[in-house]
Structure formats: structure tokens, C-alpha cells
């Protein structure tokens, strides 16, 4: 059996097309994309407004959503915010994390994302004991919790299994960080290989539409993985992500320890390549930009988080011009709004440069879709045959979007205008309500209760 959607207008082959008929097979993979079909077939669901490929959220920490609206009372800094984050991380169990992540992924879908790169480092019990020690059925319990949460919500996930070995350059993990670490690089690589093998069996990659769980790797940061260990990541044939130069203090510590920038430490280690995604990339030198661009690396900008944490504005336009591919992430989920996050990319560029139109509407759509698909190496980001049938329908007649011309709606719409979210050819969210999980606010009520944070 096939599923068909007739879209009033849609983004196809880099332009606005009208009367677009999407046909997906029983696996949720697109088998036909036809344009200029003036009348919708009777068996097709009519999708009004402007249809975009599903947004790709290339950088997420699901549990950080719990901090929303709870870290502003005293102003603070990135580093004091981090202490509050650690306190939430300490509360997580596999069971509670599944409840939290299910709510987050449901909100993510309502906000216009259909795929996510989950940068995951809460691997073990709070004292650092691996789940599964003495009970193999509990192995990879936190990772399985995230995978189950994603599949139950209908969110396509690349679980970025993160290496976190030190609390800072040449310093041990703190007590709060004990559950993040694997002791040594060999410990990480062994666990990562076992996780990948386990997930390949439990969540097999079958076809683009029905393969919802994928595994990748991540270096938490230059602070958390010694330079001597970095070449091991150049051996991996999968997406590799890294927090890069988010804060000046990170650059200063790296300069003191290694005599150069974090980007150059990665480059010397052979990690800077086309499968690398540098997250934030805020405080870069010209040489850093040249290295990342020359390698055709991916850059994941997280504008709302970078503004919230006062990180600064990264050189996105310069990186793109140098050859890097720009993508979008929501990081700590200040908002889960794919459109607002994408608008933040251009807004930052305008504030930084004093110029408008640093990224065209078409380039902004690419950063949200094909850019993220490249970063996560997922078969999404385009309404094209052979890709997953993942898309969002954006209202063009709301008080925010009425009168917007073509693709310029990317700069006027918000998540409130996402009328429908589809992944794997299944409607996951209609008008802000998850079709299977119900009201998303109620999912959060359960999530906060699971963490003992009802008040």
C-alpha cells in the first residue's frame, strides 16, 4: 500500500513548486514526486500552505530542555548555567530519561524538526558504574532509552555517542561528571563498538523511511578528550561531532596546553574532514575557518542557545564561503522552533555585519534541511525519490505569514504555523498535538514528575 499527499506548494529541487503530489511506499520512502498536479487525487491527503522537507536538528541535548526558564534569575554565565545542568543530569535514570526525551522529541516534531542528532554523554549511573554491570540486559540503558523515546514519538535519530574523558585539559572528571566518562579512550571505543553492534541488531537499517535509529560518535570538546586520543576518531567511518570553540575560555586553555587553537589540534589529529561536524564554532581564527572550509566540514550553528548563553556570534558566512556546510541545532532547547532557530542564523549575521541578506531564504532552507542531513548522514532533507517521506506543512495564511512571498515564509513563520509534521509517511503532529502521544504539555508534566521536579 502506498500513501499520497498533495501539497498546495512545496520546496522541490531548490525552488517553490505548485501542486506537488508525494507518493510513499509502505516503508515510508518516497517513490514519486510530481509537480503541477492541479487537482488533488481523491486518495491523497491535501496539505495546504507551504510544504518543506522536515527540519534536521543537528545538535540536541534532550535533557537540557528541563532547564528552560530556570537559569535566568541571577544572570549568571555559561559556567554557572553548567552547574545547574549538572544538577539535572544527576537526576536522570534510564526510565526517567525516556519519559523526558519522549516529551522533548514530541515538542521537536511540533516545532518543525523530523530528525535529530542527539549529542549524548550521560552514559552511566551517577557514580560512574556502567549500566549492565552484573546484568547484561541493562547494557546501554541510557542509549536505549533515547532510542525508544525517539521511535515512540516518530523522530528520526542519529545518536551521537559522546567521548568524555577529562573534566578539563589535564584534569580529572569531577564527581558530577563521573557518569559521562569511560575511563580511557580504549574504554570509550570498546563501549562505542558494542553499542553500534547492539543497535544494528535491535534497530536495523532497512530502508530510508523506516530506519529511525542510527549511531554516530562525538568528541565532547578539546577540554574533555586529550589531544593524544583524538586520532582514534579519524579511524571512524561515521559522522563525528565536536563542541568547538564555544567559549573564549576554551580557546585560552587550549592555547596554554597545546600552543594553538582547538581547530588546529583537531586538524593535526586528522579529525578535520568532511564527516566532521563542528558545533558552535563561535571563536575561530582565519586559519581555523580555512581548515574547516578546506576540508568541507559541517558546521552546526545553534543561534538561540548561543544567544541565551552569551556565547557570541560565529562566522557562519565566512565558513560557508570557505567551503563548509552550515546546519542548524537547538542544543539546550531555549526554543524548539525550527523556523525561529533558522531565522536566528540570519539575524546574527545581520547584527554582526550590519548587512541584510547574508543568507538568502534558499540558503536558510538548505541549512535546516540538506545541511543537517549531510551533518548526520541521514536520507532526509529533500522531497525526492529515495528519500524518507519526512516533511512539515507551514501555514501561509496566519497573522504571521499572510502576504509572505514564496520561500520568504522561512523568515516570517514560527512553530505556531506548523500545521502538520510527517515522518516516515505518518502524520505525527497536527496543530501542535501529537497524533499518538496526545497533548505535549501533558508529556512534560509526566517528565518533570519523573524527575521529582513537579514544583
The answer to whether position 73 is within a domain reads yes
Averaged pLDDT, 7-32: 98
Per the CB < 8 A criterion, the answer to whether 266 and 230 are in contact is yes
The answer to whether position 172 is within a domain reads yes
Q: Residue 74: pLDDT band by 50, 70, 90 thresholds?
A: confident
Per the structure, the count of domains in the chain is 2
* pLDDT over 80 at 1, yes or no: no
* pLDDT over 70 at 437, yes or no: yes
Task: Find residue 47's DSSP bridge partners.
Answer: 7
* pLDDT over 90 at 137, yes or no: no
Determine if the pTM surpasses 0.85.
Answer: yes
Claim to verify: residue 146 and residue 202 sit in the same structural domain: yes
The answer to whether position 416 is within a domain reads yes
Q: 317, 352, 376 — which closes off a domain?
A: 376
Residue 318: predicted pLDDT = 98
What is the distance between the alpha carbons of residues 89 and 218, in angstroms, rounded to a whole number? 18
The answer to whether position 386 is within a domain reads no
Start-to-end CA span in the chain (Å): 48
* pLDDT over 70 at 220, yes or no: yes
Claim to verify: residue 323 and residue 430 sit in the same structural domain: no
Claim to verify: residue 147 and residue 276 sit in the same structural domain: yes
Residue 352: predicted pLDDT = 95
The answer to whether position 32 is within a domain reads yes
* Nearest Cα residue to 395 out of 14, 47, 40, 11: 47
pLDDT digits (tens, 9 = 90+) for 335-360: 999 999 999 999 999 999 999 999 99
- Determine the Cα angle at 121 with ends 119 and 122, to 5°: 130
The answer to whether position 341 is within a domain reads yes
Tell me the three cell numbers of residue 159: 545518536
Residue 315: predicted pLDDT = 98
Averaged pLDDT, 443-450: 98
Claim to verify: residue 262 and residue 140 sit in the same structural domain: yes
Claim to verify: residue 83 and residue 167 sit in the same structural domain: yes
Mean pLDDT taken over the chain: 97
pLDDT digits (tens, 9 = 90+) for 369-403: 999 999 999 999 999 999 999 999 999 999 999 99
CATH of the domain at 321: 3.20.20.140
The answer to whether position 112 is within a domain reads yes
Q: Residue 91: pLDDT band by 50, 70, 90 thresholds?
A: very high
Residue 454: predicted pLDDT = 81
HEC secondary structure over 230-289: HHHHHHCCCCEEEEECCCHHHHHHHHHHHCCCHHHHHHHCCCCCCCEEEEECCCCCHHHH
* pLDDT over 90 at 151, yes or no: yes
The answer to whether position 439 is within a domain reads yes
Residue 80: predicted pLDDT = 87
Claim to verify: residue 240 and residue 297 sit in the same structural domain: yes
Claim to verify: residue 31 and residue 108 sit in the same structural domain: no
* pLDDT over 70 at 5, yes or no: yes
Helix (H, G, I), strand (E, B) or coil at 90: coil
Per the CB < 8 A criterion, the answer to whether 364 and 410 are in contact is yes
What is the distance between the alpha carbons of residues 236 and 218, in angstroms, rounded to a whole number? 11
* pLDDT over 90 at 121, yes or no: yes
Cα dihedral sign, 324-327-328-332: negative
Q: Residue 134: pLDDT band by 50, 70, 90 thresholds?
A: confident
CATH of the domain at 431: 2.30.40.10
Averaged pLDDT, 43-62: 98
pLDDT digits (tens, 9 = 90+) for 360-370: 999 999 999 99
What is the distance between the alpha carbons of residues 308 and 348, in angstroms, rounded to a whole number? 13
Claim to verify: residue 47 and residue 61 sit in the same structural domain: no
Averaged pLDDT, 9-32: 98
Residue 199: predicted pLDDT = 96
Tell me the H-state helices in 259-401. Answer: 262-268, 286-294, 303-308, 316-322, 338-353, 361-368, 370-376
Residue 455: predicted pLDDT = 66
Tell me the H-state helices in 405-451. Answer: 440-450
Claim to verify: residue 268 and residue 190 sit in the same structural domain: yes
Q: What percent of the chain has pLDDT over 90?
A: 95
What is the distance between the alpha carbons of residues 273 and 293, in angstroms, rounded to a whole number? 9
Claim to verify: residue 330 and residue 315 sit in the same structural domain: yes
Claim to verify: residue 35 and residue 61 sit in the same structural domain: no
Q: Which structural domain, as residue segments, surrounds residue 414?
A: 3-52+391-449
| Number of Cβ within a 10 Å radius of residue 404 | 20
Claim to verify: residue 168 and residue 268 sit in the same structural domain: yes
Amino acid at each position: 500500500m502506498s500513501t499520497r499527499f498533495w501539497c498546495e506548494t512545496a520546496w522541490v529541487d531548490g525552488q517553490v513548486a505548485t501542486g506537488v503530489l508525494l507518493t510513499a511506499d509502505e516503508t515510508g520512502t518516497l517513490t514519486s514526486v510530481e509537480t503541477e498536479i492541479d487537482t488533488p487525487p481523491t486518495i491523497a491527503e491535501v496539505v495546504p500552505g507551504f510544504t518543506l522537507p522536515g527540519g534536521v536538528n543537528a545538535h540536541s541535548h534532550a535533557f537540557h530542555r528541563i532547564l528552560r526558564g530556570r537559569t535566568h534569575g541571577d544572570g549568571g554565565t555559561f559556567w554557572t548555567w553548567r552547574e545547574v545542568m549538572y544538577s539535572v543530569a544527576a537526576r536522570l535514570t534510564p526510565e526517567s530519561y525516556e519519559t523526558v526525551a519522549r516529551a522533548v522529541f514530541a515538542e521537536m516534531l511540533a516545532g518543525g524538526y523530523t530528525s535529530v542528532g542527539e549529542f549524548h554523554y550521560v552514559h552511566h549511573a551517577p557514580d560512574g558504574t556502567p549500566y549492565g554491570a552484573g546484568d547484561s540486559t541493562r547494557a546501554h540503558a541510557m542509549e536505549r532509552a533515547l532510542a525508544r523515546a525517539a521511535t515512540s514519538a516518530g523522530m528520526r535519530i542519529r545518536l551521537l555517542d559522546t567521548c568524555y574523558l577529562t573534566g578539563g585539559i589535564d584534569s580529572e572528571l569531577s564527581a558530577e561528571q563521573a557518569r559521562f566518562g569511560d575511563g580511557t579512550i580504549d574504554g570509550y571505543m570498546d563501549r562505542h563498538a558494542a553499542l553500534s553492534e547492539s543497535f544494528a541488531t535491535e534497530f536495523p537499517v532497512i530502508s530510508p523511511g523506516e530506519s529511525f535509529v542510527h549511531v554516530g560518535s562525538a568528541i565532547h570538546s578539546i577540554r574533555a578528550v586529550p589531544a593524544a586520543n583524538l586520532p582514534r576518531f579519524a579511524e571512524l567511518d561515521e559522522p563525528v561531532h565536536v563542541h568547538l570553540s564555544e567559549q573564549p575560555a576554551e580557546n585560552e586553555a587550549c592555547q596554554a596546553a597545546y600552543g594553538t587553537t582547538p581547530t588546529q589540534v583537531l586538524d593535526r589529529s586528522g579529525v578535520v574532514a568532511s564527516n566532521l561536524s563542528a558545533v558552535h564554532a563561535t571563536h575561530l581564527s582565519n586559519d581555523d575557518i580555512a581548515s574547516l572550509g578546506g576540508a568541507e566540514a559541517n558546521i552546526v550553528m545553534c543561534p538561540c542557545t548561543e544567544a541565551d548563553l552569551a556565547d557570541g556570534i560565529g562566522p557562519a558566512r565566512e565558513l560557508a564561503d570557505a567551503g563548509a556546510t552550515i546546519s542548524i541545532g537547538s542544543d539546550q532547547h531555549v526554543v524548539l522552533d525550527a523556523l525561529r532557530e533558522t531565522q536566528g542564523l540570519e539575524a546574527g549575521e545581520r547584527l554582526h555585519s550590519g548587512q541584510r541578506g547574508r543568507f538568502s531564504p534558499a540558503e536558510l532552507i538548505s541549512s535546516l534541511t540538506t545541511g543537517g542531513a549531510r551533518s548526520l548522514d541521514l536520507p532526509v532533507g529533500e522531497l525526492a525519490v529515495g528519500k524518507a517521506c519526512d516533511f512539515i506543512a507551514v501555514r501561509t495564511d496566519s497573522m504571521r505569514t499572510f502576504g509572505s512571498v514564496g520561500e520568504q515564509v522561512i523568515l516570517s513563520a514560527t512553530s505556531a504555523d506548523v500545521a502538520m509534521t510527517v515522518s516516515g509517511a505518518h502524520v505525527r503532529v497536527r496543530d501542535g498535538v501529537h497524533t499518538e502521544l496526545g497533548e505535549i504539555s501533558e508529556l512534560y508534566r509526566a517528565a518533570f514528575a519523573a524527575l521529582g521536579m513537579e514544583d
